[in-house]
Amino acid sequence: MEWFFLPWTFVPRAPSWYESQWNRYEPPGAAEKWLIEIIYETVAAETRCTRCGAPLEPPRLRADAWPVRVAARCRGTARHRHRANVSRAPDGLHTEPLARA
């Protein structure tokens, strides 16, 4: 009689309330954008270009959706680009170091 119950095992499980709230599309809020901006302004001020050693300019954010994209150029003549992504996870924001693109 095991075959009788087989179709029931393929019924998709309904997501929990927490999962449905978490997976709902929600762009970054003003507080999250502000926090990311402060973090990466500090990071950019402390970071040198990995190619030419010049300091980085203040970063710009593209924060219309997750992951938030951060971009900064170096102040050298070549203006090398550096990028990082910030994603949202259940335990908070996950940041990446500014790396040369």
Q: Which is nearer to Zn ion, 63 or 73 (CB)?
A: 73
Q: How far is the CB of 11 from Zn ion (least distance, A)?
A: 55
H-helix or E-strand spanning residue 84? strand 81-89
Q: What residues line the site for Zn ion (CB under 5 A)?
A: 49, 51-52, 54, 74, 76, 80
H-helix or E-strand spanning residue 7? helix 2-9
Q: How far is the CB of 43 from Zn ion (least distance, A)?
A: 16
Q: Which is nearer to Zn ion, 67 or 76 (CB)?
A: 76
Which among 64, 66, 68 has a CA at the least distance from the CA of 40? 68
